[in-house]
Copies of this chain bind each other. A is one copy, B any other.
Amino acid sequence: MSNINDIAKQFVEYYYQCFDGDRSSLAPLYRDMSMMSWEGTQMQGAKNIVEKLVSLPFTRVVHKVTTIDAQPSLPNINAVVIAVTGQLLVDDETKPQQYTQLFQLVEDSGFFIYNDIFRLNYA
């Protein structure tokens, strides 16, 4: 499964580089069929998802990834499920927040995000 792990690591690095740099640059990673749950709010489609991400109430954000786990998804489909745990720091806050994000990537010309679930972990 080393190839799966490489795909996951490259994707996760690229995703948060885009997220922390310019959230609108995430649009090409989603499709019309993509789904996102953001802190319990569900939306579908690249346009709605990126509108939500761009509208989040912070200007600066830095993600620091702690763990990445990846597994091949269903047989006969080129898809990968990825679970990320990490910390993020927004604007002038000094205390990082723990978060978890789950992705399912599906391959067409490249990999796009089919499922995306984000949660902060409150202690």
Contact = CB atoms under 8 A, between A and B. Distances in A.
Interface of A: 1, 33, 35, 37, 40, 42, 66-67, 69, 71-75, 77, 79, 81, 83, 85, 98, 100, 102, 104, 106, 114-115, 117, 119, 121-123
Given A77-B74, A98-B98, A106-B74, A85 B121 contact: yes
Contacts of A123: 98, 123
B81 A98 contact: no
A100 to B, nearest CB: 4
A71 B115 contact: yes
Contacts of A35: 71-72
Contacts of A40: 67, 69
A interface secondary structure, majority: strand
B1 A119 contact: no
Contacts of A75: 33
A114 B74 contact: yes
A74 B74 contact: yes
> What are the nearest 10 A-B pairs in CB distance?
A100-B100, A83-B117, A37-B69, A83-B102, A69-B117, A35-B71, A71-B115, A81-B115, A121-B121, A102-B102
